[in-house]
Amino acid sequence: MRNGLYSIHVDLLDGRSGKGSGVIVFRDGAIRGGDAYLFYTGSYSVQQNSASFRGEVVVNQHTRSPDVNPLFGGGEVSIGVSGKYTDTGGTMNGVALVGKQSLMFRATLRRLADAD
């Protein structure tokens, strides 16, 4: 995964409705990002021979609004992720453990800028 700032667009799977968008930075094994209501922190490792990566992300809510229900709820959520990448972006799949539910999602990543 090339160090950089990426846009991220998330869609829930398994017949559930929900979408989210934000920005995320992949840099030297660390993940940082957020949107209008949530922030993400985590880590990843790259398997260069297969252009893939795996990691873990923790999502927390930083702003509350009575009109908005965040994609993964309002509490801290741990997410296991894996994906494929190119020089310009990638895809990422994950499972978020929200209470007793597992929410599967797919995310599209588009590289916006260097993060070196």
pLDDT digits (tens), the chain, 116 positions: 899 999 999 999 987 777 889 999 999 999 999 998 899 999 999 997 899 999 999 999 898 877 777 677 677 889 999 999 999 999 999 998 887 888 899 999 999 999 87
Cα 7 versus chain centre, distance: 10
**CATH dotted code for 4-114:** 2.40.128.380
Residue written as token pair 């989210």: 20
| Whole-angstrom distance, CA of residue 38 vs CA of residue 23 | 11
What is residue 42's predicted lDDT score, i.e. its pLDDT? 98
Helix or strand holding residue 41 (H, E): strand 38-47
Query: Which pLDDT score, from 0 to 100, does residue 80 have?
Result: 94
Q: List Cβ<8 Å contacts ≥24 apart for 42-45.
A: 42/79, 42/81, 44/1, 44/81
CA-based R_g, the chain, Å: 14
- The predicted pLDDT at position 94 comes to 94
Query: Maximum CA pair distance of the chain?
Result: 46
